[in-house]
Amino acid sequence: MTLSMLGLMLGLILLIILTLKGMNILIAAPLCALILAVTSHIPIIPPLADNNTSLTVSYMTGFASFLQNWFIVFLLGSMFGKVMEISGAADSLAHWIMHTFGSKHAPFAIVLTCAMLTYGGVSVFVVAFSVFPMALSLFKDANLPRRFIPAALAFGSITFTMTSAGSVEIQNFQPMQYLGTNQFAGWPVSLVVALFMASTGMWLFHVMIKRAVAKGEHFDDRENDPTPKTSNMLPHPFLCFIPLILVLGSSFYCSVILHFGRSSLIIALLTGLISAVILYWKRFVQLGSALSVATYSALIAIANTCAVVGFGSVAKLTPAFNDTLIYMTALPGNGLISAAIAISVIVALTGSASGGQAIALPLIAPHYLDAGVDPNALHRVIAITSGGLDSLPHNGYVITTIRVICGETHKTAYLPLGALTVLIPFIGAILAIFLFILGM
């Protein structure tokens, strides 16, 4: 094993460990990038680079590039989610769905609620914060182990909805600019795979909970548990669907009809934000302050992603990374298979689906397009695959959901979450490749 490969593996492992220990990713990522630089003989600063790329320049180029391309999207998404949150619209939808199914079907109700909100454009973090109190109440009524709540929130938010055709999440929009596709690329296969992932995931979730209950696990009350809001003070649930429908409708029109590409997402989120502000205007007390909080949240969210993109930008300078990429793209057989392997490795390296795509797509998209791989099939396989190994323990959403929102630990909560957000998308990607090969 070369020193470069050893450094690449050590950097990734250390990044995971430091993140699990609670170190800020903005500190951990450049620190681990330093290991990559030292073991691959990459100069640290420009004066030592002799006109070659240095660690600091490469890291900040990757960091700033992602910020430049996606900050407006993060900002509008965060603001839209905040407006849906403070108006009570997100809570109203959650109440309606959960009370429709009741505590008897608590896991399914939570997954469905998260799926509807995230597919409609609400930030996955806002969804987790909004749905958690009601999820807690349902799990308490059903006397189910609360350590499974993070898995329910994550499965409904970052799997079959995040990477499906039509989704307004970044992971479904990033491939468009490199492949010349739209957000509905490969939609027949996407529909089959989404239904498969949802049904298989719910079956697996049911089995895991049933086994835990059989072993004597039950719900445990804790001090300072949040209480869900009462539904009589919330807007009518059907009124709350309007902004979500407008987001999906405007994104479809701008992407498929007008071919606006990535700008379709900006228009869609802006449409949702304006419509929500108009619809719920009388419910706002301090809208300006709330939008300021949303802006800060957007900065934190995108900075965390930029940090891992920066780490990946240094990683792709290493001989080990390039040798691995050449090996993966040269694998014999169908190009969709090697593309799925390549994207899996890179999102695992970064711990971020969007960050991994930002690094991988410029490198692998031209290769597979030149090889004659169908761009629509490639778009969908990359999207679905990126939603698998990104959910390793050091993923920012995983850490926030398990520790900050739900108050659990990785030791108690990650296994079911990982099974649903890593294993199920992995199987879904295999199914998608198989269906595309069959010509569906």
Q: What would the pLDDT profile of 244-284 be if each residue is shown by its tens digit?
A: 999 999 999 999 899 998 899 999 999 999 999 999 998 99
pTM, full prediction:
0.88
Contact 269, 168 (CB under 8 A): yes
Query: What number is the average pLDDT over the span 306-335?
Result: 87
* pLDDT-based confidence at residue 229 (cuts at 50, 70, 90): low
Q: Which residue bears the tokens 């990607």?
A: 429
pLDDT over 80 (residue 42)? yes
pLDDT over 70 (residue 232)? no
Contact 74, 302 (CB under 8 A): yes
pLDDT over 90 (residue 115)? yes
Contact 25, 308 (CB under 8 A): yes
Mean pLDDT of the chain, nearest integer = 90
- The tokens for 380 are 């969908």
pLDDT tens by residue, 347-369: 887 778 888 898 889 989 999 99
Q: What is the structure's pLDDT at 438? A: 93
Contact residues for 438 (Cβ-Cβ < 8 A; gap 6+)? none
Q: Write out the residue range of the structural domain in which residue 24 sits.
A: 3-218+226-437
Q: What is the structure's pLDDT at 230? A: 66
pLDDT over 80 (residue 309)? yes
pLDDT over 80 (residue 103)? no
Contact residues for 35 (Cβ-Cβ < 8 A; gap 6+)? 7, 10, 11, 14
Closest CA to 183 of 249, 105, 239, 95: 249
pLDDT over 60 (residue 295)? yes
Contact 350, 308 (CB under 8 A): yes
Closest CA to 264 of 79, 121, 68: 121
Q: What is the structure's pLDDT at 395? A: 81
pLDDT tens by residue, 369-396: 999 999 999 999 999 999 988 888 878 7
pLDDT over 90 (residue 32)? yes
Separation between Cα atoms, residue 12 and residue 35, nearest integer Å: 10
Q: Which residue bears the tokens 């800060």?
A: 296
Q: What is the distance of C-alpha 330 from the center of its chain?
A: 28
Separation between Cα atoms, residue 1 and residue 431, nearest integer Å: 34
pLDDT over 90 (residue 30)? yes
pLDDT over 70 (residue 24)? yes
- Residues 257, 260, 261, 263: is their CA dihedral positive or negative? negative
In order of 19, 46, 314, the CA distances from 35 in angstroms are 16, 17, 10
- The tokens for 345 are 């490795």
Query: What number is the average pLDDT over the span 218-231?
Result: 77
Distance in Å from the first CA to the final CA of the chain: 42
In order of 45, 156, 342, 393, the CA distances from 12 in angstroms are 22, 27, 16, 12
| Most confident listed range (97-101, 233-237, 324-328, 406-410) | 406-410
Q: Which of 2-6, 127-131, 319-323, 411-415 comes out lowest in average pLDDT?
A: 127-131
Q: How many structural domains are present in the chain?
A: 1
pLDDT over 90 (residue 221)? no
pLDDT over 60 (residue 1)? no
* pLDDT-based confidence at residue 55 (cuts at 50, 70, 90): very high
